[in-house]
């Protein structure tokens, strides 16, 4: 969940470059759709952790919607931006880390920055602490149970 929150916050953090000419920057070097992949990871994690039918329906639906959203956003940008998008997309990847593994770009934690990581840790801890109050299920006991 920490990786999920950091990727979503990094997707919302402004990038100080012209990414269309310079290629993907920051978290966008990892994937072109960091928020959608973050939601996918979050919903899949909750789906696997819970095991109840309602969780399978809710989180499974959210997973499908987020994955379909990544494809739809890529198609829409290809239609709207044409060759500019094609050049940008060729330097990055839809699947997380695929462009890095294919050496079309390189991972740089420095380019993602400290702000998404710091905010991600703070928000993660707040959500972890307030999970039982807001959701009704103690997430802390599940996390501590992993280390027993």
| pTM exceeding the 0.85 threshold for the entire prediction | no
- Please report the pLDDT score of residue 90 as a whole number: 87
Residue 118 burial (CB count, 10 A): 12
Lowest-confidence pick of 4-13, 22-31, 71-80, 118-127? 22-31
| 104 burial type by CB count under 10 A (0-12 exposed, 13-18 middle, 19+ buried) | middle
- pLDDT value of residue 49: 82
More confident residue, 61 or 131: 61
Give Rg (Cα) of the chain.
Answer: 17
What whole-number distance in Å separates Cα of residue 39 and Cα of residue 79? Answer: 24
Q: What is the pLDDT of residues 81-103, one digit of tens each?
A: 888 888 888 888 889 999 999 99
pLDDT in tens, 5-22: 999 998 888 765 555 566
Q: Is the pLDDT of residue 148 over 50?
A: no
Within 10 A of 120 (CB to CB), how many other CB atoms are there? Answer: 20
Residues 6 or more apart whose CB falls under 8 angstroms from that of 75 comprise none
Interatomic CA distance for residues 106 and 30, integer angstroms: 8
């Amino acid at each position: 969940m920490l990786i999920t929150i950091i990727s979503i916050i990094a997707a919302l953090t402004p990038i100080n470059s012209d990414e269309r000419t310079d290629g993907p920057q920051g978290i966008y070097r990892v994937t072109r759709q960091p928020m959608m992949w973050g939601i996918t990871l979050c919903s899949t994690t909750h789906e696997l952790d819970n095991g109840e039918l309602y969780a399978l329906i809710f989180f499974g639906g959210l997973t499908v919607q987020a994955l379909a959203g990544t494809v739809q956003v890529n198609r829409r940008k290809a239609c709207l931006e044409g060759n500019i998008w094609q050049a940008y997309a060729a330097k990055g990847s839809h699947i997380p880390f695929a462009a890095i593994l294919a050496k079309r770009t390189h991972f740089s934690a420095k380019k993602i920055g400290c702000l998404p990581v710091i905010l991600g840790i703070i928000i993660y801890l707040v959500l972890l602490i307030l999970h039982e109050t807001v959701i009704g299920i103690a997430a802390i006991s599940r996390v501590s149970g992993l280390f027993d």
